[in-house]
């Protein structure tokens, strides 16, 4: 039988609460970025699970990563069905898309010397968050843990309980999918409308 | 001497190259390709920008009302009662 919630010693309880308080903003942001569920519910459930398995945390220094793993696993449990569902875009179409080359070919800022940087500059924080949510959950989780949370591929593999090679290919597809969604989103929301007319963007000086 | 690779292969390995995730031989092939292919150098610079954008333009702030509720929740974390509901 696992330890009961109430079985924590007062010192352990205080340590867990302190850890949870310190990590709260990051956990909430992580829950929002993973998406698809109520972020507050996800953080609460994760903290309850953390409470139940506090005995498995040997080193408090490892607490932030430990909480990330618990939250990610809770999210995966909740989204299990969505994570299994086949992607509406066939896998082989995920590979070849290159945002860099698409921008070059479509040339939305014909008067710009810094075409690619200008296109990225058109995306606000809101836009990038929206694009991230359009990436299917099983790819999104890899992008979030690797490129936003900054864990190594090996650490992400441990967290997701997958072989590193699987995570590498998951990341590969995730990046192409993210690039494709950026381009589609820009088109649908008119982000680059008016770009061809100049409207100042092309004049911007951008360092290399 | 490692055999040369084309743009398609170089681009396919780009993010892994930036992540240091390629083995030595594959890494060297991409480096050799980048030594003469300006277009792929542009791809590398763009991939760096895109990674930076993911990191810096997905900021999320904890709203005050959520913080208040969550801190209350944390204050009771580890008490005897396992079942709890949001206040």
The three state secondary structure string of A130-175 is HHHHHCCHHHHHHHHHHHHCCCCHHHHHHHHCCCHHHHHHHHHHHH
Same domain, A181 and A109: yes
Between A13, A143, A153, which is nearest B78 by CB? Answer: A13
Per-residue confidence band for A161, with pLDDT thresholds at 50, 70 and 90: very high
Tokens describing residue B72: 């209350």
Here the CATH number for the domain that contains residue A23 is 1.10.1740
Per-residue confidence band for B85, with pLDDT thresholds at 50, 70 and 90: very low
Query: Which of A57, A84, A111 is the last residue before a domain boundary?
Result: A84
**Rounded CA gap, B12 and A92, in Å?**
13
Same domain, A164 and A123: yes
Same domain, A100 and A74: no
Query: Which of A84, A107, A127 is the last residue before a domain boundary?
Result: A84
- Within 8 A of A134 by CB-CB distance, chain B residues are none
Chain centroid, CA A64 distance in Å: 17
How many interface pairs between A and B have CB atoms less than 8 angstroms apart? 114
Separation in Å, CA of B65 to nearest CA in chain A = 11
Predicted confidence (pLDDT) at residue A156 exceeds the cutoff of 90: yes
Chain centroid, CA B32 distance in Å: 25
Same domain, A97 and A154: yes
**Rounded CA gap, A149 and A128, in Å?**
16
pLDDT reported for residue B1: 65
Per-residue confidence band for A48, with pLDDT thresholds at 50, 70 and 90: very high
**Rounded CA gap, B74 and A139, in Å?**
31
**Rounded CA gap, B86 and B28, in Å?**
55
Does A186 reside within a domain?
yes
Which carries the bigger pLDDT value, residue A182 or residue A199? A182
Does A208 reside within a domain?
no
Here the CATH number for the domain that contains residue A165 is 1.10.10.10
- If one counts every other C-beta atom within 10 angstroms of the C-beta of residue A35, the result is 19
Tokens describing residue A158: 């441990």
B13, B41, B77: best mutation site toward chain A, by most A Cβ within 10 Å? B77
Does A54 reside within a domain?
yes
pLDDT digits (tens, 9 = 90+) for A56-106: 898 999 999 999 999 999 999 999 877 776 655 555 554 567 899 899 988
Which residues, numbered 83 to 142 in chain A, qualify as contacts with chain B under a Cβ-Cβ cut-off of 8 Å? 95, 98-101, 116-117, 120, 123-125, 128-129, 132
Does A14 reside within a domain?
yes
Q: Do A6 and B79 touch (CB under 8 A)?
A: yes
Same domain, A28 and A54: yes
Query: Which of A53, A84, A115 is the last residue before a domain boundary?
Result: A84
pTM score, whole prediction: 0.84
Which carries the bigger pLDDT value, residue B21 or residue B41? B41
**Rounded CA gap, A22 and A145, in Å?**
19
pLDDT reported for residue A196: 52
Does A49 reside within a domain?
yes
Predicted confidence (pLDDT) at residue B11 exceeds the cutoff of 90: no
- Determine the structural domain holding residue A17 and report its residue range: 5-84
Same domain, A95 and A79: no
Same domain, A30 and A121: no
Same domain, A197 and A100: yes
- In Å, what is the CA distance from A59 to each residue of A62, A63, A66, A108, A125? 6, 7, 10, 52, 35
Q: Do B75 and A17 touch (CB under 8 A)?
A: yes
What is the arithmetic mean of pLDDT over A150-166? 93
Same domain, A191 and A99: yes
Does A96 reside within a domain?
yes
pLDDT reported for residue A159: 96
Which carries the bigger pLDDT value, residue B83 or residue B79? B79
The residue ranges of DSSP E strands in A62-156, in sequence order, are: none
Same domain, A74 and A99: no
Mean per-residue pLDDT of chain A: 85
Range in A6-15, A41-50, A179-188 the model is least confident about: A6-15
**Rounded CA gap, A80 and B35, in Å?**
45
Same domain, A98 and A125: yes
- In Å, what is the CA distance from B42 to each residue of A31, A104, A109, A207, B38? 34, 11, 17, 14, 6
Number of domains chain A is built from:
2
Q: Do B74 and A98 touch (CB under 8 A)?
A: no
Q: Do B54 and A33 touch (CB under 8 A)?
A: no
Q: Do B43 and A147 touch (CB under 8 A)?
A: no
Q: Do A40 and B21 touch (CB under 8 A)?
A: no
Does A187 reside within a domain?
yes
Same domain, A103 and A61: no
Q: Do B86 and A40 touch (CB under 8 A)?
A: yes
What is the arithmetic mean of pLDDT over B53-64? 91
| Residue among B53, B5, B8, B49 nearest B30 (CA) | B5
Does A144 reside within a domain?
yes
pLDDT reported for residue B9: 86
Mean per-residue pLDDT of chain B: 86
């Amino acid at each position: 039988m696992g330890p009961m919630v109430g079985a924590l010693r007062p010192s352990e309880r205080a340590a867990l609460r302190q850890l949870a308080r310190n990590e709260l903003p990051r956990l909430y942001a992580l829950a929002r970025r993973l998406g698809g569920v109520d972020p507050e519910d996800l953080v609460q459930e994760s903290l309850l699970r953390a409470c139940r398995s506090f005995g498995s945390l040997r080193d408090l220094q490892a607490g932030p990563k430990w909480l990330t793993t618990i939250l990610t696993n809770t999210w995966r449990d909740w989204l299990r069905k969505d994570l299994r569902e086949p992607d509406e875009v066939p896998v082989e179409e995920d590979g070849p898309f290159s945002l860099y080359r698409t921008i070059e070919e479509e040339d939305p800022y014909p008067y710009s010397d810094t075409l690619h940087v200008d296109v990225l500059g058109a995306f606000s924080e809101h836009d990038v968050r929206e694009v991230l949510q359009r990436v299917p959950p099983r790819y999104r989780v890899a992008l979030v843990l690797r490129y936003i949370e900054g864990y190594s591929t090996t650490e992400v593999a441990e967290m997701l309980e997958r072989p590193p090679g699987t995570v590498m290919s998951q990341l590969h597809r995730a990046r192409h999918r993210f690039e494709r969604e950026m381009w589609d989103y820009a088109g649908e929301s008119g982000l680059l409308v008016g770009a061809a007319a100049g409207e100042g963007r092309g004049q911007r000086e951008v360092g290399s | 001497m490692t055999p040369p690779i084309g743009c398609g292969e170089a681009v396919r390995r780009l993010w892994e190259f930036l992540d240091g995730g390629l083995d030595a031989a594959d890494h060297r092939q991409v480096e050799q390709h980048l030594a003469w292919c300006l277009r792929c150098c542009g791809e590398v610079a763009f991939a760096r920008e895109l990674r930076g954008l993911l990191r810096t333009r997905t900021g999320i702030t904890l709203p005050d009302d959520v913080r208040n509720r969550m801190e209350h929740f944390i204050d009771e974390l580890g008490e005897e009662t396992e079942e709890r509901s949001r206040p």
